[in-house]
Chain A
C-alpha cells in the first residue's frame, strides 16, 4: 500500500510550494540499543522530518553469539539447550523445531504420548508468548505496565507448568530426539487443565480493558500497514502474515506432529495494520486454547521417547534435513547437514523474528516516531533470535 519507491529512501532537502529550497535539517536519531522500547539491544537509525520517519535503518547484531557456528562444533544433543536461548520466550517451540529436524535426519519415530506432550507444550508456549506480546505492545503504546503486568500474571501460571514439567521456567531444554526428556509429573495434566480453563476469563478481562479502547484503536488502526503482496515478497510468516490476510499456517500446511488430529481455525486479518496484528494474536490464543482442550482430553499413555534414540554417541547418517514448525512468531526452521559425524556439518536457523523485521522500514516510512515504536512492537521480535 505505501510501498516505498527507491527515491523515497533518499533524504532530500525540502522545497516549499514555489520550489525554493527551505532551510532546515532532518534529525537523525539513533534509537537504541539502550532505548526503553526496542525490545532488547536493537537499534534503529531513524531520520526524522519533524516527527515523521523519512528513513529507518534497523541495526542489529549486538546480541550475536555465533550460535550456528558453535552448534557445528557441538554434538547434536549439545545444541538443544542453546536453542532455548534463541527466542527465550518460547524455548519449547525452538526445541521442537530442532528436534524435528534431527528426527528427520536420523529417522526417529516419536511415540504418540510424546507428540501430544509436544503439542500441549507448544500451544502453551504460544499462549504465553502472545499474551506477553500484547502486554509489551500496550507498554510501547504508553499504557504504563498495567496490561503488561496482567499479561505476566497469567503468563506466570503457564511458566509454573513449564517449571514443574521441565525444571526451568524459560530455558526448558525439554525435547529430545525421538520424544521428550521425561514423562509428565503426577498431577500435571490436572494443573494444565485448570490453567486452560482459567485462561478465557482472563482474556475476557484483558479484552474489556483494551480491545474496545478508543485510544488503542486510534493508535493502531491503519498504522504500519503491510500489503499481502509485500508480506509474501518479504517472506514474512506467522501472525504478522496472517494479519495481512494470507492464509499460511505451518500447522495447517505441513501438519507436522499430530496437528491434523485437532480442530482449530486460522484467523485472518484484512488490513495488515498493528490493530490486526494485535487482534490476530488474541484470536490465536482462543484457537490455542481449543487445541489444548482437545489435546488434554485425548492424551494417551505410553512411552515418551523412541527406544532407538540414544543420548551418547549419536551419529545420524550423512544427509540433510529441514524441520519447520509454526512458532509463536512465525515459521521457525532448522536446516541440518550431517556428514555422519557427531556434530552437524552445517546448522542453519530460519529465525522468524529476524525475517519479519526486514520489512520494518517499509511499514514505518511516513509514520511518526510514536508509530515506529508500536510497529516494532507489533512485529514481535526477540533479539536472542534476531541476532543468534
Chain B
C-alpha cells in the first residue's frame, strides 16, 4: 500500500533519473508543471459537466446528456459535453470591442490563469506531493499569488470599455479585497497553532490521533471549526461563487467583468475561476480538513492523494449545492458581512486559538465549553445585529362585512 501511496513520487524520481544530474532539478520542475497542467484542467473539464448535470438535477431537469462520441450512438451520459464546449470556444469568433484597450484586454485572462496555476503548485495533494514546498512561506506565497486575481479582474473590466464590465470590476475589487482579510485571519489561526507557514508541514501535523481512531484534523477543534466556516465563506467570495457572485452578477451586470469576452478568452476566464476555486479548496483542505490524511486511522491504507482529491470533489459538490440554493447578496450587505461579521469573528477566533493553546493541559470537558462559549457569544451578538434589519413578518387580511378572522399568522 505504501508503494501505491507514493506511486507518483516514485514515477517522477524514475523519470528524472534519465536526465543528466545537472538538469534534474529543471526536469523535476517541468514534470510537476506538466502534472499540474494536466490534472487540474482535467478536473475542471469534468467539473463543468458535473456542475451542469447536478444543477439540473437540483432544478428537476436531466441536464446535458446528449453529447457522447461523435458519429456513434454512444452518449457517455453527456460527458462528452466538455469536449464540445472546448471545441466551440476555440472556434468561436474572438470579439474585441472597438474602443477596448486591446493589449490589456488580451492579457487579462492570462493574468487570471497563470496565478491560479501557481497557487495550485504549493498545495500538497498527497504525502510528499507538493510541487513547491516552501518551508517558510508556503501559505504566504499562496495568498500573494492569489491576490493577482484582483488585478486580472480589474484589467478585464477596465479594458473592455463596457459599463457593466466596469461595475463588475469595481465590485470584484471591493469584494476580493474585503474577503482577503477574513480569509487570511482565519488561516492565521492554523499558522499560530502549527507554528509553520509550510502547507506540507501543516498537513502532516494533522496526522496525529485523538479519541482513539480519529485523526487530529484542525476542524475537530473549536477554533478549527469556526475558522473553517469563516474560511469557507470567504473562499466562496474569493472564487466568486454564489451567493457572492456579484462581480459577474448575471441578472444585474449581464456577465460582469467578462461581458466583452468571447470564445477562448472567455473559456480562459472560466478556467481561471475554477482553478482558483480548486486552489482555495485545496488550501482549505490542507489547513482544516487534515490535508491528505484519512479521517479515521483504520482508513489509512487508502492512498493519501485519493483522500485529497476525494475531499476536493466534496468541496466542489458543496459549492455546486450552494450555487443551486442561494440567492445573491447585495454589495453593501456583502461588505457588511465581511467587515462587521466575519472580520470580528475571525479576530475572536484568534483569541479562542490562544485560549485553546494556553489551556492545553486542561481536561476536555472544561476546555471545549470555554472555547465554544467565547465563540458563540459574539456570534449571537453579531447575528442579532444583522437580524434587526429583517424579520419574518405576519400578514393581515382585509376586513369584510362577513365575519372573518381579522388577522391570521402567515409566512414561515
Task: Identify the A interface with B (CB < 8 A).
Answer: 27, 29, 35-37, 48, 51, 138-146, 148-150, 153, 207-209, 211-219, 221-222, 247, 249, 252, 263, 265-271, 275-276, 279-280, 283, 368-371, 373
A212 in complex: contacting residue of B164, B167, B412, CB < 8 Å: B412
B242-270 toward A: CB 8 Å interface, digit per residue (1/0)?
Answer: 11011001111110000000000000000
CB distance from B333 to the nearest CB of A (A): 5
CA distance A245 to B43 in the complex (A): 53
Which segment, of B58-66, B280-288, B309-317, faces chain A? B58-66
| Contact, CB under 8 Å: B397 / A265 | yes
| Residues in B neighbouring A368, C-beta threshold 8 A | 330-332
Are B250 and A267 interface neighbours, CB within 8 A? no
27 pairs, A vs B, C-beta closer than 8 Å: A27-B167, A29-B163, A139-B251, A141-B328, A142-B250, A143-B325, A143-B326, A144-B323, A146-B59, A146-B324, A212-B412, A215-B328, A217-B392, A218-B329, A219-B329, A221-B390, A222-B389, A249-B398, A265-B404, A265-B408, A266-B397, A267-B396, A268-B395, A268-B397, A279-B411, A369-B167, A370-B246
Q: Which residues of B contact A216 (CB under 8 A)?
A: 327
Determine how close the nearest CB of chain B comes to the CB of A282; give it in whole angstroms.
Answer: 8
Contact among A149, A214, A247 for B60, CB-based, below 8 A: A149
Q: Are the CB atoms of A51 and B167 closer together than 8 Å?
A: yes
Q: For the side of the interface on B, what is the size category?
A: 35 or more
What are the 4 closest A-B residue pairs judged by CB atoms, nearest first?
Answer: A142-B328, A149-B59, A217-B390, A266-B398
Q: Is A268 within 8 A of B250, CB to CB?
A: no
Among residues 273 to 319 in chain B, which have CB atoms less than 8 Å away from a CB atom of chain A?
none
On chain B, the residues within 8 Å of A371 by CB distance are 330
Cβ-Cβ contact count across A and B, 8 Å cutoff: 147
Nearest-neighbour CB distance to chain A for B85, whole angstroms, equals 19
* B330 and A219 contacting across the interface, CB-CB below 8 Å: yes
Contacts of B171 in A (CB 8 A): 51
Kindly report which residue of chain A lies nearest to residue B56, judged by CB atoms.
Answer: A149
Contact A143 B328, beta carbon cutoff 8 Å: yes
A145 to B251, CA, bound (A): 11
**B398→A29 contact, CB < 8 A:** no
**Which residues of chain B are near A139, meaning CB under 8 Å?**
251
Contact with A along B338-357 (1 / 0, CB 8 A): 00000000000000000000
| Complex interface: chain A residues within 8 A of B58 (CB) | 146
Task: Take A270-B396, A275-B393, A283-B395 as given contacts and tell me if A209 and B412 are in contact as well, using a CB distance cutoff of 8 Å.
Answer: no
Q: Is B55 an interface residue (CB 8 A)?
A: yes
Q: Does B364 contact A (CB under 8 A)?
A: no
Select from chain B the residue with minimum beta-carbon distance to A269: B395
Given A266-B397, A268-B398, A368-B331, answer yes or no on A146-B325 (Cβ-Cβ < 8 Å).
Answer: yes
* Cβ of B391 under 8 Å from chain A: yes
Contacts of A219 in B (CB 8 A): 327-330, 333
Digitize B39-63: 1 where CB-to-A-CB distance is under 8 Å, 0 elsewhere. 0000000000000000100111100
Task: Determine whether B377 belongs to the interface, using a CB cutoff of 8 Å to chain A.
Answer: no
Q: Tell me the bound Cα distance from A304 to B412 in angstroms.
A: 41
Q: Any chain A CB within 8 A of the CB of B358? A: no
Q: Which of A51, A146, A268 contacts B331 (CB 8 A)?
A: A51
Besides the contacts A141-B327, A217-B390, A221-B391, what 20 more A-B pairs have beta carbons closer than 8 Å? A29-B163, A29-B167, A51-B171, A51-B331, A142-B245, A143-B327, A146-B325, A150-B59, A212-B392, A222-B390, A263-B402, A265-B400, A268-B396, A268-B398, A269-B395, A270-B395, A270-B396, A271-B393, A370-B330, A371-B330
Q: Which residues of A contact B392 (CB under 8 A)?
A: 211-212, 217
Question: Which of A48, A144, A145, A270 has the most chain B CB atoms inside 10 A of its CB?
Answer: A144
The answer to whether A215 and B327 have CB atoms under 8 Å apart is yes
Q: Which of A145, A153, A214 contacts B390 (CB 8 A)?
A: A214
Instruction: Return A300 CB to nearest CB of chain B, in Å.
Output: 23
In whole angstroms, how far apart are the Cα atoms of A140 and B327 in the complex? 9
Q: Give CA–CA (A276, B254) in the complex, Å.
A: 27
- In the complex, whether B11 has a CB less than 8 A from a CB of chain A is no
Within 8 A of A (CB), among B381-407: 386-387, 389-393, 395-400, 402, 404-405
Residues of A within 8 A of B393 (CB): 270-271, 275-276, 279
B251-A36 in contact (CB<8A): yes
- Among residues of B, the one whose C-beta sits closest to the C-beta of A223 is B330
Q: Which residues of B contact A143 (CB under 8 A)?
A: 325-328
Q: Is B410 part of the contact surface with A, judged by Cβ < 8 Å?
A: yes
